[in-house]
């Protein structure tokens, strides 16, 4: 009999298992594939290894702007893929040893919830029943296949790829069509553009980057147009046939011939074939309904990570898993969804937290919105010959509280946690003025900006 059974060993599940076991709960983690989930095996970490190789290759190609020239720089894509596989392998085994050290038990297999009785929850894995007092569901999400004729056949022919298959592609496609200009689409477009594919992004909306601030999305768009990526905005893919993507824009139907297609039109919670109905866990559009404490509609059943459909980010999943464990331990804890940062690892990087210009308008908030060029930073100028990065600070009119902060430019991914802290702790722009920032850094523009509000 376990205190806690966790289904799914991605960021939500493995982190929760470690915390729970560390705090004395007899914990069982069930994972059907590989520890680390999508993030480690076919998402965040693999893409970052690829993008880092592309960045070095770009440095080699464009070093001339900084007085450094390279002859015959080349990128070996299959080496990059092999290196990625080694990194993933070593991180997966790192998670296994961390869990072992914490004394969390891990079993490999698909879990099915049979029901609950006086012993608690009964979970079947490979024909054996395990019982637990509490249940934490962290089964993550899977790529959505849009209802477009020809997609199924395209996937079967290896012409249409998801985030999983594209990360193992051994050869560089001459041309790549990316359906969906969201986070996955843009990061992959960035990599394949850098290493020489002709990339076309087909996006249904009239802007890229989904929910990111419109002004920042526009700067990112212009950067990638300059790098040679073609965009079809306001364009909806309607069919896939042979080596052709058919899309419709403004009533006009066009065709694009391409070697490969990446389908990146969003993800949906993985709640199928789990047996949720056996314990009355309610879902909405396929995602498990949870409150800010991670509780589901069923007593003693918690859910964390992509499966709740709230944020679909690995770092939110970590926090949600911890919150669930704390509440199980009797320590009241909740997730503050207002200060979750998000990052797109393009070059330039994009990072943001809190309200955007668009969300302020939508919600009718009384706010001040200011944009500052990153050229206020000496370091930014030293390192970016022709950079057009900005930081955008959004403050509440009455209080001066910082409620949104968005950056496009170097180190954005590393800087943004500071802004998450400002928003999470309700700092006013006057408070930020009094903090000493290191010099010379790009993040100094945030402090400088707070004097210009």
**Which residues, listed in sequence order, are joined to residue 128 by a DSSP beta bridge?**
125
Q: Where does this chain touch ligand NAI (CB under 6 A) — which range of 10-18, 21-29, 184-192, 354-362? A: 184-192
- Measured CA to CA, the distance from residue 306 to residue 287 in angstroms comes to 8
265 belongs to the binding site for ligand NAI (CB under 6 A): yes
* Token pair of 278 as six digits: 């056996």
The span of 13-21, 200-208, 294-302, 424-432 binding ligand NAI (CB under 6 A) equals: 200-208
The token pair that represents 331 in the structure block:
């320590």
Residue 213 interacting with ligand NAI (CB under 6 A): no
Residue 344 is encoded by which pair of tokens? 């797109």
Is residue 344 at the binding interface for ligand NAI, with CB under 6 A as the rule?
yes
Structure tokens at 411: 């180190």
Q: Give yes or no for residue 353 binding ligand NAI (CB under 6 A).
A: no
Q: Is 180 in the site for ligand NAI (CB under 6 A)?
A: yes
Distance in angstroms (rounded) separating the CA atoms of residues 172 and 73: 16
Whether 22 is catalytic is no
* Binding segment toward ligand NAI, per CB under 6 A, in 166-174, 265-273, 280-288, 383-391: 265-273
Among residues 304, 308, 267, 302, the alpha carbon closest in space to that of 284 is found at 308
For residues 77 and 207, which CB has a smaller minimum distance to ligand NAI in the complex? Answer: 207
Q: Is 270 in the site for ligand NAI (CB under 6 A)?
A: no
Query: Least distance in Å: CB of 56 to ligand NAI?
Result: 19
Among 7, 20, 189, 202, binds ligand NAI (CB under 6 A): 202
Q: Residues 145-155, buried b or exposed e (16+ Cβ, 10 A)?
A: eeebebbeebb
Q: Is the bond preceding residue 348 a cis peptide, omega within 30 degrees?
A: yes
> Which C-beta is closer to ligand NAI: that of 326 or that of 346?
346
Residue placing its CB nearer to ligand NAI in the complex, 48 or 428: 48
Query: Does residue 298 touch ligand NAI according to CB under 6 A?
Result: no
Applying CB under 6 A, among 183, 261, 360, 412 the residue interacting with ligand NAI is 183
Q: Is 205 in the site for ligand NAI (CB under 6 A)?
A: yes
Residue 435 is given by DSSP the state: S
Q: How far is the CB of 1 from ligand NAI (least distance, A)?
A: 36
* Nearest residue to 120 (alpha-carbon basis) of 110, 111, 133: 133
At residue 186, what are phi and psi to the nearest 5 degrees? -70, -40
**Residue numbers 33-62 binding ligand NAI by CB under 6 A:** 43
Residue whose Cβ sits closest to ligand NAI: 182
Minimum distance, C-beta of residue 230 to ligand NAI, in the bound complex (Å)? 14
In the complex with ligand NAI, which residue's Cβ is closer, 58 or 187?
187
Token match 């939500």: residue?
Answer: 12
Smallest distance, ligand NAI to C-beta of residue 178, A? 9
Nearest residue to 358 (alpha-carbon basis) of 165, 152, 205: 205
DSSP E strand boundaries for 242-361: 244-249, 252-257, 260-263, 267-269, 283-284, 287-288, 301-303, 342-344, 350-354
- Sign of the torsion angle spanned by Cα atoms 154, 156, 159, 162: positive
Local structure of residue 385 (DSSP, 8 states)? T
Query: Which residues would be at the binding site for ligand NAI (CB under 6 A)?
Result: 43, 146, 179-185, 187, 202-205, 210, 236-237, 264-267, 312-313, 342-345
Residues forming the active site: 439
């Amino acid at each position: 009999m376990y205190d806690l059974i966790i289904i799914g060993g991605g960021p939500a599940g493995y982190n929760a298992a470690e915390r729970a076991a560390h705090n004395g709960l007899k914990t069982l983690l069930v994972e059907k594939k590989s520890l680390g989930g999508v993030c480690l095996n076919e998402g965040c970490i693999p893409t970052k290894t690829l993008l880092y190789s592309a960045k070095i290759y770009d440095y080699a190609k464009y070093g001339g702007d900084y007085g450094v020239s390279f002859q015959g720089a080349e990128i070996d894509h299959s080496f990059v893929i092999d290196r990625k596989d080694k990194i993933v392998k070593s991180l997966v085994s790192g998670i296994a040893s961390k869990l072992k050290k914490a004394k969390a038990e891990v079993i490999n297999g698909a879990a099915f919830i049979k029901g609950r009785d006086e012993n608690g929850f009964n979970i079947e894995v490979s024909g054996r029943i395990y019982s637990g007092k509490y249940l934490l569901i962290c089964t993550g999400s899977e790529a959505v296949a849009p209802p477009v004729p020809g997609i199924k056949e395209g996937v079967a022919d290896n012409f249409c790829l998801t985030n999983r298959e594209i990360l193992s592609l051994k050869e560089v496609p001459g041309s790549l069509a990316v359906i969906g200009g969201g986070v996955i689409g843009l990061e992959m477009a960035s990599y394949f553009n850098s290493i020489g594919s002709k990339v076309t992004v087909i996006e249904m909306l009239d802007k890229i980057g989904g929910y990111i601030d419109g002004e920042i999305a526009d700067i990112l768009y212009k950067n990638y147009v300059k790098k040679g990526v073609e965009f079809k905005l306001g364009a909806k893919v309607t069919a896939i046939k042979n080596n052709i993507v058919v899309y419709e824009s403004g009533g006009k139907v066009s065709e694009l011939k391409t070697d490969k297609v990446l389908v990146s039109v969003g993800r949906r919670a993985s709640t199928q074939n789990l047996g949720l109905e056996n314990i009355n866990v309610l879902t909405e559009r396929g995602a498990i309904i949870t409150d800010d404490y991670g509780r589901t509609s069923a007593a003693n059943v918690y859910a964390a990570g992509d499966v709740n459909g709230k944020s679909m980010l690995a770092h939110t999943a970590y926090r949600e898993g911890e919150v669930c464990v704390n509440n199980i331990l009797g320590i009241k804890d909740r997730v503050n969804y207002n200060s979750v940062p998000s990052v797109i690892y393009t070059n330039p990087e994009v990072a943001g937290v809190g309200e955007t210009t668009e969300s302020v308008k939508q919600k009718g908030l009384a706010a001040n919105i200011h944009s500052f060029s990153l050229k206020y930073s000496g370091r930014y100028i030293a390192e970016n010959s022709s950079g057009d990065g900005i930081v955008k600070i959004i403050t509440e009119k009455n209080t001066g509280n910082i409620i949104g902060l968005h950056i496009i430019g170097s180190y954005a991914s590393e800087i943004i946690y500071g802004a998450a802290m400002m928003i999470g702790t309700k700092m006013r722009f006057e408070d930020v003025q009094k903090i000493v920032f290191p010099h010379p850094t790009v993040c100094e523009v945030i402090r400088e900006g707070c004097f210009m509000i």
